[in-house]
Amino acid sequence: MTHMPESRPYHHGDLRAALLAGAEHTLREKGVGSLSLRELARETGVSHAAPGRHFKDKQALLNALALTGYERLAQALNSADDPALPLQPRLTALARAYLGFATDNAELLELMYARKHEPGASEQMAAAIDRTVGSLERVIADAQKRGEIVEGEPERVTLIVGAALQGIASFTAGGMLDPDTARATLDDAIHHLIHGLKPR
């Protein structure tokens, strides 16, 4: 008697979440090029047409996956932020939250930034970006108003801060920095960004 493989039908109706979880797993393990709606359907135990009820194509899946990443990053930043703190400890707390997310979700973050620059990025994507990158820019702008840092376009200052954070995160994700060293480096980076390198 031939043993038939056990099927995995979906009963609880949360197929969209299951597809996104599967897609993120594939992204982490194999990269964006290996993502396939048909393969995700097979792994989830549904017909190859079933994902089409939630994602019309692979691009729609990637956009949704990027959005979930921005939502999680926004939650991490919101949890770390304390507007009552002076700028340096406030920015350090936000930087640590970003570093934690970036090193734990390196492949997802790369996808998030790629989707951010898509010409047809949705209003939903723009709103998600505003809750993350925009929140950091508002912290910078508030600090400028209070005279804690130099004047200038908040967007450009945010770009400099973001580039420093992403550089440390990339070094950590790539194994060039261990997490403890990265956190210590992060504290120094925020200090130097605020106070400069010139002797006083």
Q: Spell out the domains of the chain, with CATH numbers in brackets.
A: 13-56 (1.10.10), 63-195 (1.10.357.10)
Amino acid at 66: A
Q: What is the pTM of this model?
A: 0.82
Q: Per residue of the chain (200 residues), what is the pLDDT tens digit?
A: 444 344 444 444 688 888 899 999 999 998 888 888 888 888 888 877 877 788 888 888 898 899 999 999 999 999 999 999 999 999 999 999 999 999 899 899 999 988 776 666 678 888 888 889 889 999 999 999 988 888 889 999 999 999 999 999 999 988 899 988 998 899 999 999 998 876 65
